[in-house]
Amino acid sequence: MNCYNASEGLPYPLGATADKQGVNFAIFSANAQRVELCLFDPEGCREIQRINLAVCTDQVWHVYVEGLTAGAIYGYRVYGPYEPQNGHRFNPHKLLIDPYAKQLFGTFHWSNTMLGYTANEDNEDQDLIIDERDNAAEMVKCVVVDNDALLVKNALSPPKPNIPWNKTIIYELHVKGFSKLNMALAESERGFFSSLAQPEVLSYIKQLGVTAIELLPVHVYIDEKFLIDNKLTNYWGYNSLNFFTVHHAYLKNNDIIEFKQFIDAAHAVELEVILDVVYNHTAEGNRLGPTLSFRGIDNASYYGLEAHDARFYINDTGCGNTLNAKHPRVLQMVMDSLRYWAELGVDGFRFDLATVLGRETGGFDPGSGFFDAIRQDPILASCKMIAEPWDIGPGGYQVGNYPSGWSEWNDRYRDIVRCFWRGDAEVLPEFARRIHGSSDLFEHSGRAPSATINFISSHDGFTLNDLVSYNERNNYANNENNNDGHHSNFSYNHGEEGESNNAEIIELRDRQKRNFIATLFLSQGTPMLLAGDELGRTQQGNNNAYCQDNNINWIAWKNIADNDRYLQLFTRYVISLRQQYPLFTSKAYIHRPKELEDENISRVHWYNPEGCEMSEQQWQEADRHTLTWVLENSSVTNNSTVEKSILLLLFNAGNEPEEFYLPQDMNVKKWTPLLDTCEIDGVPKNTISLTENAIVMKHKSMQVLSANFE
């Protein structure tokens, strides 16, 4: 048995850092009385040595182990008071994961030995009694990683694409769900990062026209106990166990290099990669959850605890606990984690329940320590930052209130666009504000239209296909009696619930899908498309499919109907229009015309179907479902001539055909049709007769035209 010599070591960097002579270990705990490093054999079964971290510097315990190398397997035992009522849950009988571990060994399996207390369902005070069973035999363990190998890989990597915000188009996908049923891939590759790195996969994504892949969480996570009991899994992955480690199920050989290779392959074709990250809570859950890492290392520092009784956790996330990002060491961990992924090549981050991170003592603060730390960090300065701007805590809904430099998921855009195309009353004014980039929410702080992340559907809720096929959620497979998931979906089945064989219903549903996609990509702001929506993917009406690791979530590439293949072509065509016409991707908000001498300006106009500007009274008409949106740009050339470009977007969300007269006050000689959602690929097939300067639009349809001044 090896016996390693140990010396004092250094308090920084935190985690396990290997060099040519050994490994330095450093772990933060403000309230621990003693910390032990446990080393295991290569199989992770037998503890071969326990080393006391005898030195603590600025609340960081550290030791240097001579002769130890990368690949070594380890964990910690942390000693201190077990006093839940005072916020302390130290239990040296539990082997703990290093918060800075960059690789884990083994697969997590639920066992009562993972609990720091003696479980007794009949005793509500059960968590006050310490559990003395050892969990090391069943616990996952940490692996020392050779960081130098990653640095060498970084040096050979393609440069980051650095796509400007106003040109960004996001594609949200799940590593496994996107590739599991893709017959173009070898079965052995499906479900892993290696599948996403394949040329045929990246080519498909690139040809859509999107610029960024946003991945659902890839940090290592575990399934909640109640899901295991119901033979379900946490498919989405919003239950992080560690913030520096890739989930093992996405790595074919459990090697971080596989993740890095995917990043490099994406960058090689100028696709950015954004990670959905969960720094708001951890997998340890509430007071009756397991003791796996943070809870046993320093519960009172890592988590927000109730002031009246520190035995209970602040639960602003609805997931049992809330990470205490106000603590400087916890904030440091979050920042170190973000930098780690950015240095691996990640281009941006979408923060789940981001309000948690910005909540200070007085409530949400856009000038909080977290936002300040992000703003000044030189490595993160070039990364895209996206907030899910809500949680269930006090003052949790903060859409539009994040600081400059941040973009936000805009659920008000999602809901009002759904309501408009459904034909709801009294939504037209807000619909106009949302497609105009939600300037009422974001411009006041000097932010650009790109601050709004516009989406119709996301991983959370109905897919686009289900949005036009179901009135009610169908979540029975989740084993919660269909009580989970969103209550208000603003969906409409157009006459039949679920799948239909009625040709008229199918045709209308397909047109509505095209209306949604066209609205999304031609609105001002940053569009986000849910992977598979361009293919008509269904979740069979499940609007909360977080626990379905099966055909409900996996994209059924083989079963895509012909109509849905046309939807893919339509999506590509609409994205190409967005990329072709700069008015769709303005860096600044475009406002109503003003009396200005400068001709270099963009303007927006709103017209009624009669070809006249909308009156205040017409905006307030509850049952008005029609609108003409005009985007205009004037610029003076070098020879002092004025060049103009004008785009007309015509919307008819009503249930009857509508005659639209085109504006007469713009001196346009000819209007060229660019898009018609009545066509399955979007390309206008018939020449529009403009002899009377009018277009008859079908019910539930949209058209786009451009001006020709020659």
The residues assigned a catalytic role are: 352, 388
**Residue of 446, 413, 668 lying closest to 523 (CA atoms):** 413
* Residue 87, amino acid: G
What is the Cα–Cα distance from 294 to 609, expressed in whole angstroms? 61
Burial class (CB in 10 A: 0-12, 13-18, 19+), 596: exposed
Q: Is 343 helix (H, G, I), strand (E, B) or coil?
A: helix
Nearest to 422 by CA among 459, 456, 461: 456
Element spanning 397, H or E:
none
Whether 660 and 690 have beta carbons less than 8 Å apart is answered as: no
Other Cβ atoms less than 10 A from the Cβ of 132: the count is 10
Instruction: Report the distance separating Cα 438 and Cα 554, nearest Å.
Output: 33
The angle that helices 199-208 and 256-268 make with each other, rounded to 10 degrees, is 50
Strand-pairing partners, residue 694, are 661
Nearest to 431 by CA among 313, 606, 192: 606
What are the DSSP calls for 576-623, one per residue?
Answer: HHHHH-GGGG-SS--B-----S---EEEEEEE-TTSSBPPHHHHT-TT
Going by C-alpha positions, the residue among 71, 79, 96 that lies closest to residue 2 is: 71
Q: Which two tokens stand for residue 554?
A: 């996996």
Contact 13, 26 (CB under 8 A): yes
What whole-number distance in Å separates Cα of residue 144 and Cα of residue 23?
8
Can you tell me which residue has the tokens 């989405």? 236
Helix residue spans in 281-384 (DSSP H): 294-302, 328-343, 369-376
Scan for tokens 């290592």, then name that residue.
220
Q: Which of 465, 445, 116 is nearest to 289 (CA)?
A: 116
Q: Which two tokens stand for residue 177?
A: 């769900």
Residue 382 CB coordination number (10 Å): 11
DSSP-based three-state secondary structure for 8: coil
SS3 342: helix
**Closest CA relative to residue 454, chosen from 434, 468, 433, 432:** 434
